[in-house]
Structure 1
Amino acid sequence: MTGDIRALLARHLPGYEVGSVRPLGRGLDHTVHEVNGELLIRLPRAADPQTLRREVDLLAAVAGLSPLPVPEVVFADAEAGAIAYRKLPGESLDTCPPERPERLAEPLGRFLAALHAADPGRMGELAPLDLYPAATLLEEAELDYRDVERHVPEDQRPLVERFLAEEPPGEPRSPRFCHNDLGAEHILVDAATGAVTGVIDWSDAAVTDPAHDFARLYRDLGPEVFELVVAHYPPSLDEDDRARVRFHARCALIEDLAYGLSTGPRHYADAALAHLPWTFA
């Protein structure tokens, strides 16, 4: 694997001296390595040139939309399916929670307002449409929950079961371009100041319900910080929007709990259990 990375760098960045290469993570579809503490190189299990080109174009478009830093593509290799980004500063929010999370509200509110204001028709050429009926998502959440129910503290199970018994919310009126996986692990912050330094991992970006972006903030940061973010979001949210945010936050939490207790890293399950009371309250 290190040899593959060195060969890619020699091809695309001739003369670049490689001092260190270290693995950062492995997903279902790819691995990520850090080079010299400044480049991130993602290698796929199977190359897909068309998807790679679309991702490069998507990140270029996002860079023009976002008031927060996003990954900058250094090179992409269609044959190998590899892509290299310049590493953004900061630590992921899930490993470096700030002392005053309310300070995240203003930059995240502006970020989402800018993202959701993009022309969904234009962005739909770069990102897929991602709309699943809420009833289907609720059925999937119940199946996941039954697999992991025994791991949920007994006094908290009624919170989840009450949610699973409720009617799902209505469908969104206007799908917008969204990050679509805006969990704490994809928000970077300065460890010293708590300032947001970037938003990473745009692989799930889609034209979908804007509630998806707010839902993971609700799940990971809590309802109070969520409301502060909304206060800096010019379109605002009505009660139907908030109902969909709560719905998607709860479905996402159950999904993370099941993932962390099966094939995924355990910290996903630990975070889900820690955030369950405020997500389902």
Structure 2
Amino acid sequence: MTTPPQGPPPAPEWAPEREVTAEAAAGLIAGRFPGLAGAPVEPLAIGWDNTVFLVGGEWVFRFPRRRIAVPGVEREIAVLSAIAPRLPLPIPVPRFAAGPSEEFPWPFWGARMIPGRELAEAGPGDEDRTVLAAQVGAFLRALHDPALAAEAGSGLPHDPMERSDPAVRAARTLPRLDSLVRLGVWERDPAVMGFLAEAGDRHPPAGDPVIVHGDLHVRHVLLDPAGRAAGVIDWGDVCLADPAVDLAIAYAGFAGAARAALLDGYGPVPPDREAAARVLALNLSATLAEWAASTGRATLLAEALAGIGRALAG
């Protein structure tokens, strides 16, 4: 006879260790940056690692929700202002940066708002993503320039999440897919399961590391009202790694002519890098889908499930 587990179920991995309300954020911001005292503070977005507020209709402030996010916040403060001038799309540039204090034990920062809607929220059809894809390809080509890594990458860690390792990512994707099946939002696809099984024998791509966004998916590309790229946000995983880490978006976010436009804008992608990017596309899409299904985000769930389908498409 199996004894049922005692006590409450474990908290989901995205559960916050510290939540900042709009009222608390207003006090912390006013205390560290008096020029913003009295400015209205509105909730803007919530992710796994950060809570985001719009301040005075102009500034976006990010507060960590979990201790694991703190090194990423520190990297954002250190590196984004150095790489922003070299990139063809806007990225956040910290204008206000606060270190730990008695009132809040972790660093936080604010940057001028980049207007736009998340790709996942806007949800354009695959046929409407071609121009956007070409912009993303050109952006990644600039970001992955070895010269930029030489100039600004010296303090960055090397792929701390092992996202360029297809064997590691395949193993971490299987439990996500199991969860999607239990949640009733996905049925096992033999092609996906077979691809992940084969990925268990793959090695990371060969080549020198470059600066990568580190977590580039459909929530982190912003669109303007015309459906063009408006900016790239949420750089908490910025690091040095193989370009496959960012190229996952080519396979999770785009298909057909749009993907071809992205790769034309980016440049050649060797087979080992493509395979690693497809594995990570499955991993990120499954992770987003699990979170969306568990937290009632229907639009994101639809986009993330579509990403699983795109990941192995030709």
**TM-score of the superposition, structure 2-length normalised?**
0.77
Matches within 5 A, 1:1-281: 1-16=21-36, 18-45=38-65, 52-79=73-100, 80=104, 81-98=107-124, 100-119=128-147, 120=149, 122-130=151-159, 131=162, 133-150=165-182, 151=184, 153-154=186-187, 157-168=189-200, 169-174=202-207, 175-191=209-225, 193-234=226-267, 236-262=268-294, 265=297, 267-281=299-313
Taking only the aligned residue pairs, the percentage that are identical comes to 31
Shift of 1:114: 0.9
Q: Deviations over 1:228-256 (max 9, x none)?
A: 1110124x212333222222212222232
Matched letter for residue 72 of structure 1:
V
Give the aligned residue type for 1:64.
Answer: P
Give the C-alpha shift of residue 267 in structure 1.
4.5
Quick one: structure 1 residues 270 and 60, their matched pair in 2 at CA, closer, same or farther if it must change by over 3 Å? same
Which one is further off, 169-178 or 69-78? Answer: 169-178
Task: State whether residues 222 and 278 of structure 1, in contact with CA within 8 Å, keep that contact through their aligned partners in structure 2.
Answer: yes
Point out where structure 1 has 5 or more consecutive residues left out of the alignment.
Answer: none
Hey, what's the Cα distance between the residues in 1 that align with 2:26 and 2:228? 34
CA separation in 2, counterparts of 1:158 and 1:227?
Answer: 25
Q: 1:185 to 1:12 in 2, by over 3 A?
A: same
Moved more, 163-172 or 243-252: 163-172
Contact 1:223 1:279 survives alignment (8 Å): no
Supply the distance in 1 between the matched residues of 2:142 and 2:28 (Cα, whole angstroms). Answer: 35
Q: What TM-score comes out, normalization by structure 1 length?
A: 0.85
Cα distance change, pair 273–44 in 1 and its aligned pair in 2 (3 A) = closer
Amino acid at match of 1:85: A
Q: Letter of the aligned partner of 1:82 in structure 2?
A: F
User: Which moved further from structure 2: 200-209 or 73-82?
Assistant: 73-82
**C-alpha spacing 1:58/1:163, structure 2 compared with 1 (3 Å):** same
Residue 83 (structure 1) shift:
0.8
CA RMSD of aligned residues (A): 2.8
Aligned to 2:235, the other structure's residue is in SS state: coil
* Aligned-pair CA distance for 1:223: 4.5
- Please give the alpha-carbon distance, in whole angstroms, between the structure 2 residues aligned to 1:265 and 1:66: 31
Distance 1:248 1:91, change over 3 A: same
| d(CA) in 1 for partners of 2:70, 2:169 | 31
8 Å CA contact retained: 1:39, 1:84: yes
Change (3 A) 1:13 1:107: same
Summarize the Cα distance change of 1:196–1:29 in structure 2 as closer, same or farther, 3 Å threshold.
closer
